[in-house]
Chains A and B, each alone.
Chain A
Amino acid sequence: MNKKATGFYESFDRKDGSRTTTYCAGCGHGIVQKLIAEAIADMELQDDTVFISPVGCAAFCYYYFDCGNVAAPHGRASAVATGISRSIPGKVVIAYQGDGDLGAIGFNNAFQAANRGDGFACFFINNSLYAMTGGQMAPTTVAGQKTTTTPYGRDVSRDGYPLRVCEVFAQLEAPTYIARVSVADTKRIMQAKKAVRRAIEIQRDGKGFAFVEVLSPCPTNWRMDSIESARYCTDVMEKTFPLGCYRDRSSEAEIIQPRKATTTLRDLLGSSTVVESVVDASFPTIGMKFSGFGGQGVLSLGLVIAEAAGRAGRFVSWFPSYGPEQRGGAASCSVVMSGQEIGSPTVDAPDILVAMNQPSLERFAPNVRSGGAVIYDPSIPVEFKPPTGVRMLPFPAIEVAKNAGVPKAVNTAFLGALSAHDLLPIDDDHLLSALADSFAAKPHLVEKNIEVFKAARQTVWEDKVEMGR
């Protein structure tokens, strides 16, 4: 008398209430699934297990397995298992995949999960073709094998060679267990049973990725009877796919530890002195553009001003050039500050332009609004007629920064000049505190930059005195 398999539902109510499966006579799926279900039941893990069904003949594993069930998209059971196992550490997660599912469309997901040592057991059913969709070639189709898409036999010179997944995975450091077994005869089934149990024990113990490939007969698509197909498995498939244990580090593998919080969001965000913006109808909307070469500190200059405006309770936005643009060549950013909510954060026609190199001067200066100002280093040759009503303010930022002993602080020199020209309606206190905080990671530069800022301011003031203003 056959012993009733454990680990399955009493009756398959998600199917039709019977206790018959969707599998053909002689198919290996039923045997493999019985081995898995019994192992889960024997280890009393049904409450702790999530089983992931693939797409293909085994799509309806959730008809049978009495545990939590998830049905994955085609090829993605391993990726789904990654998401599940990392969400419920300590639980038993099982991905069950066919050879098209895992070997072809989803190979990278399984491979990468193996490479990360993700905490799930992956059962890989190799029947050498796509069964559900009508017997097409799979990555595991053996050389010369006829399938519906290799009607003349698999031609390895054009279709590639059968993919030996165990051997590929065995190149990876992370997997805890890798084995290839077969369910073609009783002796092999007993070996398969051991491998299945080992893979599930590893999950019970939280010891990482376990992979079991199972050579499994498909009499329907192979167009053989049960006995012939079992023989094909052993005599033909095993030549390409040798059985054996390719890796077993279950005794020394470390237990995957769940992540633990070591801080709070508040601590991560640190402190800030930005205050709530206040509506102030008397404060105009000012659009500023900062531009130059990448590496000149164009973006950070805009940022310091925006941060200072935020601390002063103004509405403010900062929008940078980004991506490859910021890694070479030109860099620019727009800052809009206002006494009311800001519309467009981009600045088509700036009120103030800081141009740190010639291309940016040529590109942006013609758009500066009448009544606006352009500040630039006089070492840049000016080869265009400034738009009417625009003040051109040459400022020797490069020289000022160099003389202060911080040649890189050209942007800080421009900041001082903007302040001295009264172009920034923000208190110097806010500018200086924002400037200092911008060097939080390099505190030794704070004092030096403040010196540059002050030197720049002095230069503008002296210049004004000289000009008799």
Chain B
Amino acid sequence: MRKFIRGNEAVIIGALSAGCEAYYGYPITPASEIAHAAAEYFPVLGKEFLQAECETGAINMIYGAASTGKLVMTASSGPGISLMQEGLSYLAGSQLPAVIVNVMRTGPGLGNIGPEQADYNQAVKGGGHGNYRNIVLAPASVQEMCDLTIRAFELAFQYRNPAIVLADAVLGQMMESLHIPDKVMESPCTDSWAVRGDSCTRNNLITSIYLDPDRHEQHNQMLQDKYENMQKEASAMTYRIKDAEIILTGYGSSARIARSAVDALREEGIRAGLFRPITLSPFPIQQLNSAAMGRNVLVVEMSNGQYRNDILLHLERAKDTKVELINRMGGNLVRVDDVITAARNIVGVKA
């Protein structure tokens, strides 16, 4: 079945299709419709929904519920996600799977409720204390709000790690046609680590404390090895890159804007292509290099260049390769026309 649906609601349809069993969250614009949909669907489907007293409460309820091996999720935006960072560190340290959706709004501080992508570093580089990483997926359509929520649960359980769906206000608020998944994912077996109050799991322990430095170093090293192993899950998509002289790149709604610019540039004879990461952590390093190595790159994003900095970090490039940024902040979207102008300037074409 297909339905014309809001991105935020598609997250919950994805979660239910993944077999999600509990939602704990605190309202915040522009993510609240996720909680609304969860409140509507979860209880009548025999699942748990609770509006927590705060985001700190919500992420710790997630920690508790995840400890029992259930599929659990929360969603929030900027300030709320900041409040959850300690909990994310604990989830990672205790190796608990959970899905956290961030419908990014502006910052720093209260900012406003417009779209921005300035939580990139917070999500991709860690955000909380300690040597840990989140799995980070970047949807760019209502369909992916659903599908990548499912994928986030798969990866979270495969690696016993928190997984963030890093969306933005545009994706959360917009509506598109959604193909509703046909079946519900099978629940993963969690007997070896979950604590469910039964004889099978009586000897299990959920913790992130290792008092002995050597033992704790070992734990840290094991986590690093796990993150290294996750690299094979990196994914990205490309559009019209085969003969491209310039690669536009962005994630989330910025990738949609870049795609429109690619088509417009092609129409005026500029061979533009698009590289769009689907996983931001692990970062699709190999995919980026095979798409963009030796070509000029224009990064489109709604932040001060946080994603651009990762392109600079990961893209092997010659001295004369240009990596430039067209960005907006504060709740403004990048205009397609501005992207086109920036691309023309890079390839040396005057309008």
Contact = CB atoms under 8 A, between A and B. Distances in A.
A157 interface: no
Contacts of A88: 68, 196-197
Given A88-B196, A322-B29, A76 B56 contact: yes
A294 to B, nearest CB: 15
A444 B204 CA distance: 59
Interface stretch (B57-65, B116-124, B307-315): B57-65
Contacts of B257: 343-344, 346
A261 interface: yes
A177 to B, nearest CB: 20
Nearest to B209: A71
A146 to B, nearest CB: 30
A343 B4 contact: no
Nearest to A273: B2
A354 interface: no
Contacts of B24: 83
- Please indicate which of the listed interface residues B22, B175, B209 has the most CB atoms of chain A within 10 Å of its own CB: B175
B87 A319 contact: no
B60 A72 contact: yes
B202 A68 contact: yes
Nearest to A302: B175
A14 B206 CA distance: 13
Contact of B173 (A67, A71, A276, A319): A319
Contact of A50 (B4, B61, B195, B262): B195
B53 interface: yes
B196 A91 contact: yes
A70 B67 contact: yes
A259 B47 contact: yes
Contacts, number: 236
B263 interface: yes
B4 A306 contact: yes
The binding surface of chain A is classed by DSSP as mixed
Interface in A48-74: 48-50, 52-53, 59-60, 62, 66-73
A52 B65 CA distance: 12
B253 to A, nearest CB: 7
A80 B64 contact: yes
Contacts of B253: 344-345
B175 A87 contact: no
A62 B207 contact: yes
B68 A84 contact: yes
B199 to A, nearest CB: 4
Interface string A141-185: 000000000000000000000000000000000000000000000
Contacts of A274: 2-4, 177
Nearest to A45: B197
Contact of B22 (A83, A277, A316): A83
A265 B207 contact: no
A48 B206 CA distance: 16
A70 B259 contact: no
Interface stretch (B36-44, B226-234, B288-296): B36-44
A454 to B, nearest CB: 24
Given A275-B2, A310-B4, A317 B62 contact: no
Contacts of A265: 13, 16-17, 41, 45
Interface string B79-106: 0000000110010001000000000000
Given A265-B16, A323-B29, A303 B175 contact: yes
A80 B256 contact: no
Interface string A74-115: 001001111111111001110000000000000011001000
Contact of A344 (B63, B86, B90, B256): B256
A269 interface: yes
A344 B180 CA distance: 23
A80 B202 contact: no
Interface in A286-331: 303, 306-307, 310, 315-320, 322-324
A310 B177 contact: yes
A109 B57 contact: yes
A47 B198 contact: yes
Nearest to A276: B2
B287 interface: no
Contacts of A79: 52, 56-58, 60-61, 63-64
B258 to A, nearest CB: 8
Contacts of A261: 44-47
B150 interface: no
B63 A73 contact: yes
Nearest to A348: B335
- Please indicate which of the listed interface residues B56, B176, B261 has the most CB atoms of chain A within 10 Å of its own CB: B176
A264 interface: yes
A260 interface: yes
A286 to B, nearest CB: 13
Nearest to A48: B197
Contacts of A269: 1, 3, 13, 180
Listed from nearest, the 7 A-B pairs whose CB atoms lie closest are: A83-B64, A343-B260, A91-B197, A261-B46, A79-B60, A83-B61, A80-B64
12 contacts: A50-B67, A68-B198, A68-B202, A80-B64, A82-B50, A269-B180, A306-B4, A306-B175, A316-B177, A317-B142, A343-B260, A345-B253
